[in-house]
Structure 1
């Protein structure tokens, strides 16, 4: 594996062994791996297993050093086994709807699973060189723009279709409606009764003033 040990501590805890190592002949940082021989548990500073579900080369080297010929079952995820593809197919069959057709959810799930697998393969091939990483990210940007444009076009198409349907249904109904005078709503303020009251008061005042003269 091209790995050399820089230090090894065997007295950390009774069942624990701590290893320090780095790539042979390289200038990379020193990695640490903790191995629990009682529970067959291994922890490394790379955290590769926690990230993508695969033990790093440092952890595998420790397993080799401690003469553990098989990877512990807890570190063999189902998605990396030989029957992983068959398991997906069986899950798809079990998720068939009443008509025997694959549901949208199953189709999306399978598509996401396949897409993540293919993307991860490309990432692993491109990660070592700056130029290949640049090509990868430019490709992602281009794909994202194409998808956004397609989705925007679909939204416009759906919106136009809905508008057309509404117009076709409502317009004939509007044409068949008879014309009516608009409703008049009285504004708040002085009512007719108030107007009559004030008119009577004015008349009374005029009569009184004329008598005084």
Structure 2
């Protein structure tokens, strides 16, 4: 990906769109592609909730967390349960290459949970200013992606991020306190966050 295409991709993210693999290549959509007008945000304040059962897992220190240690591995894990790219999933080879390019340029990141020396789960997303757009997550060991999500929220807080976009609400995200907001409000929050400096990694 050259600089011109990179800027075009970042503009799409800045407007609240995310990539999905299509038969013709890559399409850009917002939450309406999933049949809802509302955008889902994970709160970075006291509204974020950690289920009691997960607190025990966190306290057990069964998982180690790392950033970008195996970005390609998280990408494969998010593609399908089988870990391969396919036209039958939104994360096609074309979309995977897009994320790899964004990672090389320092915009896409993986927040990972490791178990017994192996990648066990993680969250994939894009950082723009003080906004983190969570695109996907996966696990191969139970609770791994949940641990990664909690530690990611803690990381975003310490780094001064203001918005954690999780795109579309579902019961899993709602357990952690994810809320739905009006699309106009979302775009305003996203625009303001992008203007503010924040670094996902040093």
TM class, shorter-length: under 0.3
Higher helix share: 1
| Larger gyration radius, structure 1 or structure 2 | 1
